[in-house]
Amino acid sequence: MAVKKTLMLVGDYVEDYEAMVPLQLLQMVGHRVHTICPDKLPDDSVRTAIHDFEGDQTSSDGSLVTALAGPPRLDAQVSRSARHSHRVMMRHAVFVYGTLLRGEANHHLIGGAEYLGPHRTAPCFALYLLGAYPGAVRGGRTAIVGEVFSVDGAGLRRLDRLEDYPRLYDRHWLRSPYGRAWIYLYRGSVRDRELIPGGDWRRFAADPDSLRAAGVRRARDPKTRRRRRIGASAAAGARARLLTDPGPGEIATPPGHRASCREAVA
C-alpha cells in the first residue's frame, strides 16, 4: 500500500474518538498524519475530551501532536472541531510592568494582543533594576504600575520564553479590575540590586535627570545575552523557591499586610 499523507485540523477538547483514534489507526498502517490547531506551535499539546454515552461527564488528557503550516501534496484532509467550541480559543490576561509595556523594547511580542487597560497593584511588591529591564518580587510595600493585556495561548508561550519561565521568572495570579491576570515574578537574587522608586518602570526609564535611567535607555536590550547570564545565577540560588523576604533597603512588612498580599497574589 502506498503511503498517504493526511492533514487533520483539530481544536482543543476535540472528541478523542474522532481525532486520536483515527490518527493512531492511520499511523498503524503506515500513513503519515499531520495535525494543526489554532494558536498552537510545533510540538504543542492538544487536549482531547472523552464523554460518556449520556454526554454528562467530560474528562481530558493531553495528546502530543506536530503542528505544521501544511505539508505539500496531501492525499486527504480531515476536520475535527471541539465539542465545546468556546474552549478552542482560550485567552489569558497578563499584567506587564517593564519592557512589554506599550512603547517599550519588547512590546512587539504582544503587539497583536488586546489591551485591557492600566493597572496599579496592591502595595505588596518590590521592583528591582536588573540591567536593562525590571524584576518584581513579593514581600515589599510597593504598588507596581503596569498594563493588562489579553493574549492567546501562543502569545503566552512567547512571553514564557522571553521571561525564561519557570527558570528566571515565575508566573502567579494577580487580582486586577479585568479579572485574574498573570504576573511574572523574578526568582533570582536581588542582593545589591537597585530599587525602582514608585514601582513605575516607564517613569524611571524616561527620567531625563537620572544618569542611571540614561544608561538603561542606551542599553534597552530585549533580554537576550544578559538574561541568560542572570538566569544561570538565578537557577543556582533559587531553582525551587520564590523570594519573599524583604530585600536590601526595603521595610519589613507587618503580618497583617502580608496576609492581605496573599489574597492579592495567588
- Asked if 127 contacts 189 with a C-beta cutoff of 8 angstroms, the reply is no
Cα 148 from chain centre: 13
Which of 15, 163, 194, 250 is flagged as catalytic?
163
SS3 95: strand
Q: Given CA atoms 120, 121, 125, 129 in this order, what sign does their dihedral have? A: negative
Please indicate whether residue 263 is annotated as part of the active site. no
SS3 177: strand
CA pair distance 149, 265, nearest whole angstrom:
17
- The bridge status of strand 14-15 relative to strand 45-51 is parallel
**Percent helix, strand and coil across the chain, each to the nearest 5:** 25, 30, 40
Q: Which residues are catalytic?
A: 163
